[in-house]
């Protein structure tokens, strides 16, 4: 158990040192998954959530201060909510 915990802590330390590499990997996965998930409503929701996660990862990678992070999170939540409302009103699935 201690070996697994030590490996996990080493990987987390590596991720903290290489923040931008995690951002690049997340962006590549998003680009690859975008055409596969775009056809359904659940896929579009997953893509919107993934985009939110990538934005948060970018803020973390750039080491932005905490109040700015909360402001961005609020802005992203409002954007996702408006997107969902417009998709519902326009009859998109």
pTM: 0.60
Residues 54 and 19: their CA atoms lie apart, in Å, by 12
pLDDT per residue as tens digits for the range 10-20: 888 887 788 88
pLDDT per residue as tens digits for the range 29-78: 999 988 888 888 788 888 888 888 888 888 888 887 888 878 877 887 88
The two structure tokens encoding residue 83: 């997107």
- Domain of 48 in residue numbering reads as 2-89
How many domains are contained in the chain? 1
Residues 3 and 19: their CA atoms lie apart, in Å, by 24
């Amino acid at each position: 158990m201690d070996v697994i915990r030590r490996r996990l802590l080493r990987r987390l330390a590596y991720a903290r040192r290489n923040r931008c590499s995690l951002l690049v990997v997340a962006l590549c996965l998003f680009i690859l998954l975008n055409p596969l998930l775009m056809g359904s409503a659940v896929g579009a929701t997953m893509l919107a959530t993934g985009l939110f996660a990538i934005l948060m990862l970018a803020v973390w990678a750039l080491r932005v201060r905490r109040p700015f992070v909360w402001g961005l999170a609020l802005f992203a939540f409002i954007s996702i909510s408006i997107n969902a409302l417009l998709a519902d009103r326009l009859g998109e699935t």
